Structure 1
Amino acid sequence: MAAEIAEQPAVIARLVARSSDIAAAVAAVRPDPLRGFVLVARGSSDHAAVYGRYVLEYATGVPVALAAPSLQTRYGVVPRLDGFLAIGVSQSGRTPEVAATMEVLQAGGARTIGLCNDVGSPLAEACEVVVPLGAGPERAVPATKTFTATLAAFALLAQALGDRSTGDWPRLVDALAVAVDDDTGARTAAALLVGAQRLLQVGRAFLYPVALEAGLKITETTGVATNGYSPHDLRHGPIAVADAGVHAVCFSSPGPVAADVERAAADLTARGARVVAVAERGGDVPAASALIAVPSGTDELLAPLVHSVRAQQLALHLAQARGVDPDRPFGLTKVTATE
């Protein structure tokens, strides 16, 4: 896991270098007019798809839906999707229900794109166009470089299909390099959280999927149950668990929703919880008792990639501090063959 975390700047740089080829491939299957998107995924890929929902709708202005695969694989629903672009996401490309759902969506009229790390996989074969992640073999069970590569692929798709830039890619790659070279903040935070049995992850908008993924990473590497929430969903009930025995990790980046995360951190602190912020140094989470700093200046739409690296580092060091092998979590396998 540690070695694969370190590979991420190079993985993203290679993917960005193919942006023109990706744009050309996507243009070949773009419906005219484009009425919307349907995204199909499970696990970490599903969290990446939540990011895809935000970035695609932001860039194109058309609605984005997350598929409910059981409707296709168990109930036989064939949705009417003329004018829609369906995007299947599976880092291995070997999750059966994702490939099967994509086949049904194509039968319903959608044009199809697959995002995966294996161009010979069933998902790749089920889609009209494949965007290879190009991350190389990923041997640790927790997804790291394939997750951030999927985020980058979604941002590149949004850039190709929409009329808004997703940000400064060279600056992002530089920020990723800085992040993987110094994990001091994550080590320090792991020492603070090592005894925690109740954890919350909080993020909004483009960082909401990072909160979801951080929860999954910590759960699968340590066995500690933790969930991700948006600040507003947190206030709709889950904040009731917050007391002196709860720790929370709040993900924040400068932008329109930073104040919402700041308020959530303050509310959690007021109830006795201890807050760790993943944010720029001097950022918008003054209630935090610890900071995992991210390099400053990354565009808001691309910041989730850097925050994801910090979440991965935190999960890695928390697992090690608890005496758990993060590469081989108990009872888990690299490919989960859900149908």
Structure 2
Amino acid sequence: MTVEATTRMSQEIAEQPDALRATFDVLLPRRGEIRERLAGRRHVLFAARGSSDNAAIYGRYLLETHAGIPAGLVSPSVATHYRSHLDLSDAVVVAVSQSGRTREIVETLAWARDCGAVTVAVSNDESSDLATSSDLALTTVAGTELAVPATKSYLTQVAAMTVLGTALGPDDTALDVALADVPGQVEAVLADADRLEPVVAQLADGLTVVTGRGLLMGTALEIALKLEETCARPVRGYSYADLRHGPISAVQEGVTAVLVGAADGPLHDAMIELADDLRTRGATTVAVGGSPELSEACDLATGPLAVTERLAPLVAVVPMQVVIERLARRLGLDPDEPAGLSKVTRTDVSTQEEA
């Protein structure tokens, strides 16, 4: 049996299958428009902060691995503080903000346009400053999000990245059959949420590191961010490669290592090898997503996912959203309003911004 939703965060997690369906219904038919509007531009840059930045990391990987388009992340401070003038006449700049009112990101979009870029806005509000000032607005259909931690707004941003990545690929329908199954897979995760209780219990004590790589890197960073901001736990998010380059020496008994993986792809076997290594160092390992083999290689698992690596970020984060909401309540915290945080954030003391 599933636990009845008791917080706004849990309610919004439960709304994600419908939010995904609504977002895909609106954005997938626009892929032709996206291709036409962005034609001739050879590079894509993303501008975002926080959870939106983690969605953008997935967008970057999808464009490079699926569409064959060089992509990267632009530092908003280059626009808003250094005020550098770059030649972006061959670039598309995609600004991502769930509210569409983050001043730093709105200003970065205006800077990109002045530098010659074609601008795209991804937000959850078609009337926002970001959407109305862009050349092309991709508005998600998450509905109003009341809990401070982004769940459904984040996942629909990931959906928008999928639409963008497939629109610019050699065959925009190549992933459509698998894509149609994604909302149902999210529903299946939510319907069997009580199996996640051992993971909740494990994360209640000790130190935690989260690692992923490639298309799942943004998901790993999003999980680490949500654990920090919702559960007030110091958590480090690493790419697989960065963890191997030194920090792995600090992984020992008492540390929980969360490994975010896909069921297929070129990094599948490497994640299993990492799980084996971390267990020999004394860490308790938790598999998020991935294949049955990854689940078997770890001490605990959220359950394998039957979705291709290129779409895995649309599903893999969901079980950990559930875990994090339940962990916050287990720790006596309010997941809807984490201490010291709000929907209105400040990246500079002189500006007030919405995430």
TM range (shorter): over 0.9
Structure-1 residue corresponding to 2:3:
none
Structure-1 residue corresponding to 2:353:
none
Q: Which whole-Å CA distance do the structure 2 matches of 1:17 and 1:126 have between them?
A: 24
Q: What is the letter of the counterpart of residue 324 of structure 1?
A: L
Matched, 1:208 2:236: no
Q: Cα distance, 1:115 vs. partner?
A: 0.3
Structure 1 stretches of 4+ with a deviation exceeding 3 A read none
Q: Which whole-Å CA distance do the structure 1 matches of 2:285 and 2:198 have between them?
A: 13
Structure-2 residue corresponding to 1:242:
251
Q: Which whole-Å CA distance do the structure 2 matches of 1:112 and 1:140 have between them?
A: 29
- 8 Å contact 2:189–2:319 — kept in the other structure? yes
Unmatched segments (≥5 aa) in structure 1: none
Q: Cα distance, 1:16 vs. partner?
A: 1.4
Unmatched segments (≥5 aa) in structure 2: 1-8, 349-355
| TM-score (normalised: structure 2) | 0.91
Q: Alpha carbon RMSD of aligned pairs, Å?
A: 1.5
Q: What is the letter of the counterpart of residue 12 of structure 2?
A: E
Matched, 1:46 2:61: no
* Match 1:27 to one of 35, 38, 41: 35
Q: Which whole-Å CA distance do the structure 2 matches of 1:12 and 1:82 have between them?
A: 33
Match of 1:338, SS?
Answer: strand
1:75-102 deviations in whole A, cap 9, x for unaligned?
Answer: 1112101121110000111111111011
1:235-258 deviations in whole A, cap 9, x for unaligned?
Answer: 111112111121111112122111
Matched, 1:309 2:307: no
- 8 Å contact 1:242–1:272 — kept in the other structure? yes
- 8 Å contact 2:42–2:69 — kept in the other structure? yes
Q: Which whole-Å CA distance do the structure 2 matches of 1:166 and 1:201 have between them?
A: 28
The total of aligned residue pairs comes to: 336
Q: What is the letter of the counterpart of residue 330 of structure 1?
A: A
Of all paired residues, the percent bearing the same amino acid is 36
Q: Which whole-Å CA distance do the structure 2 matches of 1:128 and 1:251 have between them?
A: 35
Q: Which whole-Å CA distance do the structure 2 matches of 1:214 and 1:185 have between them?
A: 18
* Match 1:18 to one of 23, 26, 29: 26
Match of 2:100, SS?
Answer: coil
Q: Which whole-Å CA distance do the structure 1 matches of 2:54 and 2:39 have between them?
A: 25
Match of 2:293, SS?
Answer: coil
C-alpha change, 1:261 and 1:281, in structure 2 (3 Å) is closer
Matched, 1:144 2:135: no
Q: Cα distance, 1:280 vs. partner?
A: 4.9
- 8 Å contact 1:247–1:274 — kept in the other structure? yes
**Range 137-146 or range 272-281, more displaced:** 272-281
C-alpha change, 1:273 and 1:78, in structure 2 (3 Å) is same
Match of 1:18, SS?
Answer: helix
Q: Cα distance, 1:322 vs. partner?
A: 1.0
**Range 242-251 or range 182-191, more displaced:** 182-191
* Match 2:113 to one of 77, 94, 106: 106
Structure-2 residue corresponding to 1:123:
130
Match of 2:83, SS?
Answer: coil
Q: Which whole-Å CA distance do the structure 2 matches of 1:192 and 1:264 have between them?
A: 19
Matches for 1:171-210 after TM superposition, within 5 Å: 171-196=181-206, 198-210=207-219
1:100-159 deviations in whole A, cap 9, x for unaligned?
Answer: 011111111110110000112121122111111110000000000011101111111111
Matched, 1:36 2:38: no
Structure-2 residue corresponding to 1:62:
69
| TM-score (normalised: structure 1) | 0.95
Structure-2 residue corresponding to 1:9:
17
1:282-302 deviations in whole A, cap 9, x for unaligned?
Answer: 2324331111114x4212211
Matches for 1:319-330 after TM superposition, within 5 Å: 319-330=328-339
